[in-house]
Chain A
Amino acid sequence: KNEVEQSPQNLTAQEGEFITINCSYSVGISALHWLQQHPGGGIVSLFMLSSGKKKHGRLIATINIQEKHSSLHITASHPRDSAVYICAAPETSQGNLIFGKGTKLSVKP
């Protein structure tokens, strides 16, 4: 059974800072998701990656399959980045996801 752990649980940053959120999982997987959720809001899929690195705007996601570890980076953080960031991995080959507890990010102006 796959387990997904994230750190830190809470993160406060000043506007402009470089942010890193970490995710580790216990079983070999084919893909890992990074999701964003604003308070009371829906879930936005930021990345799905199975190897290497992906970049979208100020967001960068990396994955190391051998170490079973992924990171989400935010460059030049902004208050609008304040949200909960969640990593998720397939629990089975059918694709149903198991989720980390989330990292609550607060970016202060």
Chain B
Amino acid sequence: NAGVMQNPRHLVRRRGQEARLRCSPMKGHSHVYWYRQLPEEGLKFMVYLQKENIIDESGMPKERFSAEFPKEGPSILRIQQVVRGDSAAYFCASSPGTGDIYEQYFGPGTRLTVT
């Protein structure tokens, strides 16, 4: 019974490159949340998606960041033209979307380093 999977676990990008972070939710889960943890800071909400829908992206920076959760395949958080300030740990959490909607299971995170 696999948990939430994220890959890659570590990602190094040069300034100006693109970063793609993937999140595969737990089996049967159709809701995904993305959170960011900047160095020495707490976790902050970025975006909430259901399959093929962005429900709430109020925590997402307005430029360079986008997220999707297609009908098939993992959820993807995409950061274009990365800058040093994007260096952080990015966590996704999945939720069943039915029953207890506040139940969330976290992935191991992707640590992005921008050089």
Contacts and interface: CB of A to CB of B under 8 A. Distances in A.
Interface of A: 30-31, 33, 35, 40-45, 48, 50, 86, 88, 90-92, 94-102
Interface residues of B, number: 25
A44 B56 contact: no
Interface string B21-43: 00000000001010100000011
A31 B106 contact: no
Contacts of B42: 86, 99-102
Contacts of A102: 42
B106 A45 contact: yes
A97 B106 contact: no
A101 B35 CA distance: 14
Contacts of B55: 94
Contact of B101 (A40, A43, A95, A101): A95
A3 B105 CA distance: 21
Contact of B107 (A35, A42, A88, A98): A42
Interface of B: 31, 33, 35, 42-45, 48, 55-56, 59, 91, 93, 95, 100-109, 111
B40 to A, nearest CB: 10
Contact of A44 (B44, B103, B106): B106
Contacts of B31: 95
A33 B111 CA distance: 23
A97 B35 contact: yes
13 contacts: A30-B102, A33-B104, A42-B91, A42-B109, A43-B106, A44-B106, A95-B102, A96-B48, A96-B59, A97-B35, A97-B43, A99-B35, A101-B42
A99 B102 contact: no
A96 B56 contact: yes
B106 A94 contact: no
B48 A31 contact: no
